[in-house]
């Protein structure tokens, strides 16, 4: 199971503050998540992408609950599964998800990403400062320090503000429907 070894190593480096390793970890995970959700939600690519994004946000915000002595993919699979069931619950879809092994979660098919709408909607509803910080970091590839400087705050303050913005995004996406 080399994907587990690879993801776990990347995640551990990410938790150590290595942004490049962390980005790679989330990117690999994102591809797997897309395949996982696509297999279970036929014909709703927009919803699939929304769930991928909501799950990535949750993985990020809830990372302290991953016990590094346990499997990372099993943990991420449980987060994805919870988000999928929660999605169905909110949409009042009666659907059951069979208990499945997380090995299957790693199946290698790779559907194309599509565009999710919920995240943009959630982002638009954030206060200006938070929204600009998130877009500066993601779109222009500015480092957190540069984005902070543009907003007139220190890197530390930018870090706190970004974290708050991501938390608010997750909360808004969760309440979207």
Q: Residue numbers of the site for another protein (CB under 8 A)?
A: 14-23, 26-27, 30, 34, 49, 52-53, 56-58, 60-67, 74-75, 77-79, 81-82, 86, 113, 115-116, 119-120, 123, 134, 137-139, 141, 143-144, 147, 159-160, 162-163, 166, 174
CB of 17 to another protein, least distance (A): 4
Using alpha carbons only, how large is the chain's radius of gyration in Å?
17
CB of 88 to another protein, least distance (A): 14
CB of 107 to another protein, least distance (A): 18
CB of 50 to another protein, least distance (A): 10
| Helix-helix angle 2-15:19-40, to 10 degrees | 130
CB of 74 to another protein, least distance (A): 6
Structure tokens at 100: 């499945």
- On whether the CB atoms of residues 106 and 73 are closer than 8 A, the answer is yes
Neighbours of 87 (CB within 10 A): 20
Cα angle: 101, vertex 109, 169; to 5 degrees: 80
Q: Which is nearer to another protein, 108 or 139 (CB)?
A: 139
- On whether the CB atoms of residues 35 and 107 are closer than 8 A, the answer is yes
- On whether the CB atoms of residues 125 and 174 are closer than 8 A, the answer is no
Q: Which is nearer to another protein, 39 or 90 (CB)?
A: 90
Q: How far apart are CA 128 and CA 46, in angstroms?
A: 26
Q: Which is nearer to another protein, 57 or 106 (CB)?
A: 57
């Amino acid at each position: 199971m080399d994907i587990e070894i690879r993801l776990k190593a990347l995640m551990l480096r990410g938790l150590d503050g290595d942004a490049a390793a962390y980005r790679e970890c989330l990117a690999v995970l994102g591809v797997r998540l897309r395949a996982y959700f696509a297999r279970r939600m036929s014909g709703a690519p927009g919803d699939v992408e929304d769930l991928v994004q909501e799950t990535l946000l949750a993985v990020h915000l809830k990372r302290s609950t991953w016990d590094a002595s346990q499997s990372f993919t099993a943990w991420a699979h449980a987060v994805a599964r919870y988000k999928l069931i929660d999605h169905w619950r909110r949409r009042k879809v009666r659907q059951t998800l069979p208990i499945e092994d997380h090995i299957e979660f790693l199946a290698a098919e790779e559907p194309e990403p599509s565009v999710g709408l919920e995240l943009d909607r959630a982002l638009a509803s954030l206060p200006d400062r938070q929204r600009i910080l998130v877009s500066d970091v993601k779109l222009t590839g500015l480092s957190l320090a540069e984005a902070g400087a543009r907003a007139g705050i220190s890197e530390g303050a930018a870090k706190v503000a970004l974290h708050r913005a991501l938390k608010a995004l997750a909360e808004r996406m969760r309440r979207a429907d």
